[in-house]
Homo-oligomer: A and B are copies of this chain.
Amino acid sequence: MTDAVPAYAPVELAFAGPAVPIPASRTPFTLDVGLGDRRLRVPGFWDGGDRYVARFLPETAGEWSWSTASEAPELDGRSGTVVVSGAAGHGPVRVVERFHFAHADGTPHRPVGATVYNWLHQSDELFTATADAIAQARFTKLRFMVFPQAGDYVEHHPELLPFERGPSGWDVDRPNVAFFRRLDAAVALLGDRGIQADVLILNAYDGGRFGLDGLTEEQDAVYLRYLVARLSAFPHVWWSLCNEFDILDRPRSRWDRLGTLLAETDPHDHLRSIHNWIELFDHNRPWITHASIQNGHVTTELGRAGLYRDVYDKPIVLDEIKYEGDIPERWGHLSAEELVHQFWVATVSGCYASHGESFALPGGSLHIVEGGALLGRSPQRLAFLRHVLDDLVVPGIDPIDKWDDPEFVGGVARRQYLRYFGRSAPPSWRFRLPQATNVGERLQSGDAFTVDIIDTWNMTVTAVERPFVLDDVRRNEAFAPEAIALPAGEAIALRITRTR
């Protein structure tokens, strides 16, 4: 009997097995592990030499029992127990309240993500510096690719590639263990720094350089299963099937089958998405847990992003709203002011967004490609946004009167509201709240509120030193008599909280 281990941390069981590796297309062994009614069927994987490993993630305290099954006698019929006590962190992020996220222990999670596509494939020094910079900027999520990228702005080619070569191209039956151990370490590094690992399983930027976009559907499936076996036990993994999937010339049915396989294979049911270039995927497909969308247009003004909530009925994560930077392409030269504005638009629309940085670097690359220090002026404002989100007393922001409120107030009816004025606030605002449409309590005369003025660029929160009491309650909106003076011309939001 070993010492107790905490919940929400991976448990790894290693066994000696056949020295001639079992090909990855045949899961070498499975671990049946459970506690009470909860049973997991965990795929094991070959980890080099005669080493075979299974990892699982206990989410509750107690004595978990496990047993193995395998075609190989050495890996078959093993059993034991693991005592779980206490917890390390908050557990995997899952969908709550239709449009939002929380950790398994109930702690709200508001993704404010960063993007470094080729992070995994850089030198150890740059690799570590990037994770440190992202953690220091308080981003909660990092999007990065397992397979390397070729093409524009890519100045580094990796030493490690994911598979051995066979007589006719990649042999996915023989994963390169050194490559995947590096991936393990990368995911662990993010976990240590409190960052969710948004793993881009496939990418569309191979361009013939590595040939990893030329795998067959069966090869993709072998790789996917191996990847899941290695990483699923990490609590902070999110899966993204592909970045800009529609650049690749594949039928959607193939993506759909791969996504369905992912959902069936992952014993820990991590978040699953797929990300578009020009044509959206059908995020209503059941294997998709949240819509990961590229469309910078929907966050430039209020009234757009929330439309995606209606159509998908899932959390909306705008994983590419263009980048803060200075390159000629229009996807890469947003001002910091504009990018911060877009995050606030996403927020009050009840959606989430990701950051990326694309200043032309001396070596010819970009931060979104290789990482390094963050140079822009948006990250500290996004950390401030995250601070505001963490201080909310409601689980998430939803439109109050989704198709009819000219002010696009978000929040939870009669509890707490966010009102955002865009990049240039007027000199004053008459206290007004929309009535909820089909859900939520109706505002009543006498309801009292506090107001905090949030300067989204200068990063200040200033309480208005008097209460606001509704005295004019109408069918679709309600008013307090006073107006509020605003710092005209600044990017201002209001946080409005009911006290009575």
Contact = CB atoms under 8 A, between A and B. Distances in A.
A296 B403 contact: yes
Contacts of A283: 311
Interface string A294-320: 011110010110011011110000000
23 contacts: A278-B437, A278-B438, A279-B310, A279-B313, A280-B310, A282-B284, A283-B311, A284-B284, A295-B307, A295-B310, A295-B403, A296-B403, A296-B404, A297-B303, A297-B404, A303-B303, A303-B304, A304-B304, A308-B311, A311-B311, A311-B312, A328-B475, A330-B476
A279 B309 CA distance: 10
Contacts of A476: 330
Contacts of A278: 437-438
Contacts of A308: 307, 311
A313 B283 CA distance: 13
A282 B298 CA distance: 21
Nearest to A437: B278
Contacts of A284: 282, 284
Interface string A424-466: 0000000000000110000000000000000000000000000
Interface in A456-486: 475-476
Nearest to A276: B310
Contacts of A404: 296-297, 330
B310 A307 contact: no
A297 B403 CA distance: 5
A307 B298 contact: yes
For chain A, the bracket of interface size reads 20 to 34
Identical subunits present: 2
A282 B282 CA distance: 10
Given A280-B311, A298-B307, A307-B308, 17 more contacts: A279-B310, A279-B313, A280-B310, A282-B284, A295-B307, A295-B310, A296-B403, A297-B303, A297-B403, A297-B404, A301-B303, A303-B303, A303-B304, A304-B304, A311-B312, A330-B404, A330-B476
Among all A-B residue pairs, the 6 with the closest Cβ atoms: A297-B403, A282-B284, A311-B311, A280-B310, A307-B307, A278-B438
Contacts of A279: 310, 313
A8 B296 CA distance: 46
A279 B313 CA distance: 9
A459 B403 CA distance: 30
A342 to B, nearest CB: 13
Nearest to A291: B311
A205 B308 CA distance: 28
A422 to B, nearest CB: 14
A413 to B, nearest CB: 15
Contacts of A311: 280, 282-283, 308, 311-312
Contacts of A313: 279
Interface string A391-414: 000000000001110000000000
A215 B295 CA distance: 43
A315 to B, nearest CB: 15
A296 B404 CA distance: 8
A404 B308 CA distance: 18
Contacts of A295: 307, 310, 403
Contacts of A475: 328
Nearest to A328: B475
Contacts of A312: 311
Contacts of A307: 295, 298, 304, 307-308
